[in-house]
Structure 1
Amino acid sequence: MARAAEDVERLEPADRAAWRAWLAAHHARPAPVWLVLRKGRDAPLTQDAAVEEALCFGWIDSLPRKLDEQRWMLLVSPRKPRSPWSRVNKARVERLVAAGLMAPPGLSKVAAAQADGSWDVYEAAESLEEPAGLTTALAAVPDAAAAWARFAPSARKGILWWIAAARTPETRAKRMAETARLAAMGLRANFPESRGR
């Protein structure tokens, strides 16, 4: 059962070193934290630095949320097994490894992802390569392929990520069919503004 946002611990480290020290001590805990960050360029812990440190210890960022006029929060949690890796985070890991900053827990998550295939799940989506099943689904629905081609590359990438993240072939096929059905109506699958229409 998902935890309510109010039930998740808040953590406001003084700086990058304090965040890294917290991760070193708590990386094995299963629960997420709301990482409280200050706004502005002078913030002692930037979002990029926070995400880099999280990756070093096998954690990942997800939801941002406004807290007040000076601060905001980022939900950070242990990376789940078989969770796909974005190209951006893979590049971050490459830099962190080269700099000698990756800690054993983070290296372990990377090795597991490379072994189970989740390291490369998003590669085709990042390059806007359509899976064969999607091409077939779009061709089967009148106007779907033409509408799909008009979607912005960023929208197509988001939909391709959603399809690629499906855990079973059945879910993947359903997502491709939904993509074609909605595209024929000019709507983008898995986009909030498309829901409920």
Structure 2
Amino acid sequence: MATGGQGRVGDGDPRVHVETVEEWADWLAAHHADATGAWLVTWRTPTGRPAPTYDEAVTEALRFGWVDSVARRLDDERSMLRFSPRKRGSGWSRPNKVRIARLEADGRMAPAGAAVLAAAQADGSWTLLDAVEDLEVPDDLAAAFDAHPGSRERWEAFPRSAKRAILEWIVQAKRAETRARRVAETAEKAAPGERANQWTPKA
């Protein structure tokens, strides 16, 4: 059952434990306009207890203009996934665009979700990640690869997921100088076979 407002994790977002996608949809309908985020708590598959699928949970969130982010294991029986209102200007992944198309075809978009979609289509963020999804190397990164021998070959050897993550990191830069730094780091690190934008623990 939904338990919005009970239990806090880190930043104070409520935990919402549901067993059906309908319960999750009901919580979103009631709280999407006033909540700043929530942890969707569900039973883990080995428990055999009912829970909405990832696709169902994300699809319902998109209806109301929300999006998923961080996933965590809560305990041996439960996991949780953070959802929050989509930030204006953030890029849309291809899987989420497919979900939106399905929602529109079924006439299931809520007004809040439709408003977020319209804003994204107006400001260009709707198509921001299209080239990223196709793993297209932008011109500035291609030039940086040319300036660092071996970087392009090693870049091509990276897994698709790694290349996609780095390309998204580059295109999401808000300022030209930030993008330039990210492009340079990507090429410089690719030359010896290293990946840019990798978290490293402090010594």
Does the pair score TM above 0.5? yes
How far, CA to CA, are the matches of 1:70 and 1:152 in structure 2?
32
- Structure 1 outlier segments of 4+, above 4 Å: none
Cα distance, 1:42 vs structure 2: 5.3
Q: Distance in 2 between matches of 1:118 and 1:170?
A: 20
Partner of 1:12: 17
Q: Does 1:118 align with 2:125?
A: yes
The CA RMSD measured in Å over matched residues stands at 2.0
Q: CA deviation at 1:156?
A: 1.4
What is residue 150 of structure 1 aligned with on the other side? 157
Q: Distance in 1 between matches of 2:167 and 2:19?
A: 38
Gaps of 5+ in 1: none
1:33 pairs with one of 38, 44, 51: 38
Aligned partner of 1:92 in structure 2 is 99
Task: Verify: 1:50 aligned to 2:64, yes or no.
Answer: no
Task: Verify: 1:138 aligned to 2:121, yes or no.
Answer: no
Give how far 1:4 is off.
6.5
**Which amino acid in structure 1 is aligned with residue 53 of structure 2?**
T
Which consecutive unaligned segments of at least 5 residues does structure 2 have? 1-7
Deviations 1:86-111 (A, max 9, x none): 00100000001111211010111111
**Aligned-partner SS, 1:9:** strand
In structure 1, the residue matched to 2:28 is 23
Deviation at residue 30 of structure 1 after TM alignment: 4.5
Relative to structure 1, the CA distance from residue 22 to residue 167 in structure 2 (aligned partners, 3 Å threshold; closer, same or farther) is same
The equivalent of 2:189 in structure 1 is 182
Task: Summarize the Cα distance change of 1:75–1:128 in structure 2 as closer, same or farther, 3 Å threshold.
Answer: same
1:64 corresponding residue in structure 2: 71
- Name the SS of the counterpart of 2:97 in structure 1: helix
**Aligned length in residues:** 194
How far apart in 2 are the matches of 1:48 and 1:149? 30
User: 1:157-195 deviations in whole A, cap 9, x for unaligned?
Assistant: 2211111111122211111100011101210112336x8
Provide the secondary structure at the position in 2 that maps to 1:94: helix
CA distance in 2 between counterparts of 1:131 and 1:42 reads 46
**Alpha-carbon contact 1:11-1:34 (below 8 Å) kept:** yes
